[in-house]
Amino acid sequence: MFERPQSGETAVLVHIDFAELADNRELDEFAELARSAGAQVQEIVRLRRRAPDSKYFVGSGKAEEIAAAVVASGAQLVIFNHGLSPSQERNLEALFKTRVLDRTGLILDIFAQRARSHEGKLQVELAQLNHLATRLVRGWTHLERQKGGIGLRGPGETQLETDRRLLGGRIKQINRKLERVRSQREQGRQARRKAELPTIALVGYTNAGKSTLFNRLCDARVRAANQLFATLDPTLRRIELAPGTVAVMADTVGFVRDLPHELVEAFHATLQETRDADLLLHVVDAADPERLQTMSQVESVLRDIGAGEQTVIQVYNKLDLLDDTPHVDRNPEGDVERVWVSAHDGRGIDLLRQVLAQYFVPDMVHGWMHLEPGEGRLRARLFGLGAVLDERIDDYGAWELEVRLPQRELDVALASTRRAEAGLRPA
């Protein structure tokens, strides 16, 4: 849309510590983000400041030092682990004579590479255009020139105004398409609610193992890789929690600290699955020594998208990297707080299934029921619910049914046939 310096993948990374204590985890994550985007890191410049500089963000002296590092390393790109204003990006590009990318632009680039579905590509493009809309002023001299030539002399439009108009039109077009996507997703959610299908959403920090766990639980084949944002497009699959009890599980995009606001806005349709879920499974990397910080970041994003009040069960994953066994932690009231599993080798998966079954079907009853020949209506109702596991007929034509179903459904079936009691015997 406008001229920029020559593109490239070799990069110099810039990280500033504004806090009193240096956060090595934040720098490591930044470097991993750059590599996930395909950058070939030549050098990492780390410095400490109390506040950003208004012109160069890093101060003129350090900016000259970074410029020298760019020349020495032959880097074609400088990436900042911070949000830069349009004027700061313009000033830095003029000084470095190369492209400058901030943290938001870096994450948007990764998302653009990972998007596979039509919806995902639309959401990423919308986020990129919203980000670009504030940065058209950083264009080069042709943006300030009037169109010229035969038939084009006179007032006309500047190139900048043309770019803004075209960009605004494309944003409106994408929003209309995404509105149809939201409508389709809402119809799906209404159908699940009508069918009384509970929804479980997997959330967590990126690279915590959500997709691997999703594949284990749902026997799915979602792409899982040891990299940041390996999964971008949401996936829904059915999962059988107990005989006759089915739920829908959603695998969502992983979170990261300082998730760009443009992404939160653009991925409204995707994140709606998280907000509307009956239960959130917060997948945590149990082997991460700084897992409490990543958990705090996830909880912050959940609050930002309006899912802060949802019921959450923590799933401590990657147990295969620890010297521990699968187990369940409960609070003083007896409610499940966390389940320790390994999605990699499958340990604890059955335990997690049991926890989910107990959460959604806490009052299952299982036993034998005696029905007289005149109670065919109740028998048909139980078969219709998929609750009959076995059936025998005695010498007098009465039915002996082995049933397993929620107590609530049994009560409704008995009330509809005006039978006072179930008469269940142990199975």
pLDDT digits (tens, 9 = 90+) for 294-318: 898 888 888 877 888 889 999 999 9
Quote the pTM value: 0.69
CATH topology assigned to domain 10-101: Rossmann fold (3.40.50)
One-letter amino acid at 7 equals: S
Please give the pLDDT value at position 6: 47
Per DSSP, the residues of 161-226 read HHHHHHHHHHHHHHHHHHHHHHHHHHHHHHHHHHTT--EEEEEEBTTSSHHHHHHHHHT------S
Please give the pLDDT value at position 227: 55
Question: What's the chain's average pLDDT?
Answer: 80
Please give the pLDDT value at position 194: 65
* Measured distance CA(265)–CA(250) in Å, rounded: 19
Extents of the domains making up the chain:
10-101, 196-360, 364-426
In this predicted structure, the answer to whether residue 281 has a pLDDT above a threshold of 90 is yes
Label residue 323 by pLDDT band (50, 70, 90). Answer: confident
Contact 115, 107 (CB under 8 A): no
364-426 and 196-360 share a CATH fold:
no
For the stretch 371-426, pLDDT in tens is: 888 888 888 888 887 888 899 998 888 899 998 877 777 887 887 776 655 566 66
Q: What are the binding residues for Mg(2+)?
A: 211, 231
For the stretch 186-216, pLDDT in tens is: 777 677 666 667 889 998 888 888 888 988 9
Please give the pLDDT value at position 307: 83
Helix (H, G, I), strand (E, B) or coil at 417: coil
CATH topology assigned to domain 196-360: Rossmann fold (3.40.50)
Sheet holding 245-251, edge to edge: 235-242, 245-251, 199-204, 279-285, 312-317, 336-340, 327-330
For the stretch 66-111, pLDDT in tens is: 999 999 999 989 999 988 888 898 899 999 999 899 988 888 888 8
Please give the pLDDT value at position 423: 61
Label residue 236 by pLDDT band (50, 70, 90). Answer: confident
Q: Which comes out higher in pLDDT, residue 16 or 258?
A: 16
Q: CA separation (Å) from 40 to 9, 33, 37, 426?
A: 6, 11, 9, 66
Quote the percentage of the chain above a pLDDT of 70. 80
* Measured distance CA(74)–CA(98) in Å, rounded: 10
Q: Which of 185, 38, 180 is nearest to 114 (CA)?
A: 38
Please give the pLDDT value at position 145: 46
Contact 238, 313 (CB under 8 A): no
Contact 217, 355 (CB under 8 A): no
Q: What are the binding residues?
A: 204-211, 229-233, 251-254, 317-320, 342-344
Please give the pLDDT value at position 275: 81
Least confident residue range of 26-35, 179-188, 335-344, 390-399: 179-188
As given in the structure block, the two tokens for residue 278 are: 């009956």
Q: What are the binding residues for GTP?
A: 204-211, 229-233, 251-254, 317-320, 342-344
One-letter amino acid at 257 equals: R
For the stretch 104-159, pLDDT in tens is: 888 888 888 877 777 778 878 888 888 877 776 544 444 444 444 444 444 555 66
Please give the pLDDT value at position 146: 46
Please give the pLDDT value at position 1: 35
**Total residue length of the chain:** 427
Please give the pLDDT value at position 44: 92
* Measured distance CA(146)–CA(301) in Å, rounded: 44
CATH topology assigned to domain 364-426: Alpha-Beta Plaits (3.30.70)
